[in-house]
Structure formats: C-alpha cells, structure tokens
Amino acid sequence: MVKLVFDKYKNGLCSRSGLPLFDDEAVATSHRILEEIRQGNVSDIVGGPALYTEIGVDQNVLMRYRCSRGTSSVEGSVHFNIIRKFASYNAGPRLNEAVLSDYRLYHNISDG
C-alpha cells in the first residue's frame, strides 16, 4: 500500500508552487522506507501483540487507528504532556509550532 502511494504521487506537482512533490532526495528516501518495510521493520510482530487497533472511520471514510506504541514513563513527563496537548488540537503546522514554542518556554522557565 505504501508503494502504491509513492508511485501515485512521485511524479505529481504541488498545486500551489508547481514544484514536484518528490525531489531526488524524497525519491531516495521513499526507496529506503520501502526497503525497511520489506525487511519487516515497520509492521507488527507476527504472533505478537496488536499494536494498532481500528477505532472507526473519519469524515473522508478513511480508517482511524489507535496506536499502543505510546510514550513510556522512562521518557518522562515531557513527551506525555506534548502528546496530551496535541491530541486535543488536530492542528496544522503553524499552530503546532506555536503550541510547541509555548510549551518549550513554559517548560524551560518552570524546570530551568
């Protein structure tokens, strides 16, 4: 399925800029990603616990999944707080950057 997406869009053009969606570096990266998938490094472990659970479909009729590969307690409260903050937004890049900047400032002031 990933290969189908890469193949479909690799020669596409951005509707805003008119530039290719995939430059030479992106094509090379897509080949490395496909190799990682081929080697089995990106999928669930056969016979292991299910790491992705279907939770329904979105407004575009695309399947939504819940991932159980969460942040562990070893990684501390920073990642957990960021994940919790972003889960409520469904935001674009600009809002994400603003939220991260705010969090980073608050975190550095309070824990610095």
- For residue 109, give its domain range: 72-112
Does the residue 107 lie in any domain? yes
Does the residue 63 lie in any domain? no
Residue-wise pLDDT tens digits, 30-53: 999 999 888 877 766 777 777 788
- What is the C-alpha to C-alpha distance for residues 102 and 96, in angstroms, rounded to an integer? 10
Does the residue 81 lie in any domain? yes
Does the residue 66 lie in any domain? no
Residue-wise pLDDT tens digits, 52-76: 888 999 998 999 988 776 655 546 6
Does the residue 64 lie in any domain? no
Supply the pTM of this predicted model: 0.43
Does the residue 7 lie in any domain? yes
Number of domains in the chain: 2
Does the residue 18 lie in any domain? yes
Name the token pair of 66: 């819940």
- What is the C-alpha to C-alpha distance for residues 79 and 85, in angstroms, rounded to an integer? 10
Does the residue 79 lie in any domain? yes
